[in-house]
Structure 1
Amino acid sequence: MSAQIIAIDTMGGDSGPRLIVKASIACLKATPSLHLALVGQPSLIEPFVSGLCAADRARLQIVAASEVIGMAERPGQALRGKPDSSMRVALELVRDGKAHACVSAGNTGALMALSRFVLKTLPGIDRPAMVAAIPTRSGFCQLLDLGANVDCTAEHLYQFAVMGSVAAQALGIAQPRVGLLNCGTEDIKGNQQVRQAAVLLGESRTLNYVGFVEGDGLYRGEADVLVCDGFVGNAVLKSSEGLASMITDRLQALFRQGLLARLAGILALPLLRRLKADLAPARHNGASLLGLQGIVIKSHGAAGLQGFQSAVERALIEVRMNLPARLQGLLDNHLP
Structure 2
Amino acid sequence: MSIAVDAMGGDHAPHVNVDAAVAASREFGIASLLVGSASRLEKLLAETGYSGSQIEIVDAPQVITMDDPATAAVRRKRNSSIRVAANCVRDGRAEGLVSAGHTGAAMVSAKMVIGTIEGVDRPALAAILPNLSGHCLLLDVGANPDAKTQHFKEFAVMGSIYAQLVFGKESPSVGLMSIGEEDTKGTDRTKEAFKIVKEAGLNFIGNVEGRDVFNGKVDVIVTDGFTGNVILKVSEALGEMVEKLLREEIKRTLQASVGFLLSRSAFRSFKQRLDYSEYGGAPMLGVQGCVIICHGRSSAKAIKNAIRFAAEFSRQKLAQKIQSSIAELHSREASLVKA
Give your verdict on TM over 0.5.
Answer: yes
Among 209, 212, 223, which residue is 2:207 paired with?
Answer: 212
Offset at 1:330? Answer: 2.3
Q: Which residue of 2 aligns with 1:27?
A: 24
Separation of aligned partners in 2, 1:293 and 1:312: 17
Q: Which residue of 2 aligns with 1:267?
A: 262
Q: Which residue of 1 aligns with 2:336?
A: none
Offset at 1:166? Answer: 1.5
Which AA in structure 1 matches 2:183? D
Among 318, 321, 328, which residue is 1:333 paired with?
Answer: 328
Among 92, 106, 116, which residue is 1:121 paired with?
Answer: 116
Q: Quick check: 1:13–1:71 contact (8 Å CA) kept in 2?
A: no
Aligned: 1:189 with 2:176: no
Q: Deviations over 1:234-258 (max 9, x none)?
A: 1111111111111122122222222
Offset at 1:130? Answer: 0.4
Separation of aligned partners in 2, 1:88 and 1:236: 29
Which AA in structure 2 matches 1:207? L
* Aligned ranges 1:80-229 → 2 under 5 Å: 80-171=75-166, 172-204=168-200, 206-229=201-224
Partner-residue secondary structure (3-state), 1:318 = helix
| Structure 1 length-normalised TM | 0.94
Q: Deviations over 1:171-229 (max 9, x none)?
A: 3211111111112222232222211110111233x211111111111111111111111
Offset at 1:20? Answer: 1.4
Which residues of structure 1 form unaligned runs of 5+?
none
Q: What is the identity percentage for the equivalent residue pairs of Structure 1 and Structure 2?
A: 38
Q: Quick check: 2:120–2:326 contact (8 Å CA) kept in 1?
A: no
* Aligned ranges 1:315-334 → 2 under 5 Å: 315-334=310-329
Q: Deviations over 1:294-325 (max 9, x none)?
A: 11111111112222222222212212212111
Partner-residue secondary structure (3-state), 2:73 = helix
Separation of aligned partners in 1, 2:145 and 2:27: 37
Aligned: 1:68 with 2:52: no
Which AA in structure 1 matches 2:35? V
Change (3 A) 1:31 1:80: same
Separation of aligned partners in 2, 1:155 and 1:202: 12
Q: Which residue of 1 aligns with 2:46?
A: 50
Q: Quick check: 1:170–1:326 contact (8 Å CA) kept in 2?
A: no
Separation of aligned partners in 2, 1:266 and 1:45: 42
Separation of aligned partners in 1, 2:260 and 2:101: 39
Q: Which residue of 2 aligns with 1:6?
A: 3
| Structure 2 length-normalised TM | 0.93
Which AA in structure 2 matches 1:120? G
Q: Deviations over 1:147-186 (max 9, x none)?
A: 0111011101111011111212233211111111112222
Q: Quick check: 1:26–1:309 contact (8 Å CA) kept in 2?
A: yes
Aligned: 1:40 with 2:36: yes
Aligned: 1:16 with 2:16: no
Offset at 1:17? Answer: 0.8
Aligned: 1:280 with 2:275: yes
Q: CA RMSD in A?
A: 1.5
Offset at 1:53? Answer: 5.7
Separation of aligned partners in 2, 1:47 and 1:132: 34
Separation of aligned partners in 2, 1:140 and 1:54: 35
Q: Which residue of 1 aligns with 2:230?
A: 235
Separation of aligned partners in 1, 2:231 and 2:57: 37
Q: Quick check: 1:13–1:300 contact (8 Å CA) kept in 2?
A: yes
Q: Quick check: 1:9–1:104 contact (8 Å CA) kept in 2?
A: yes
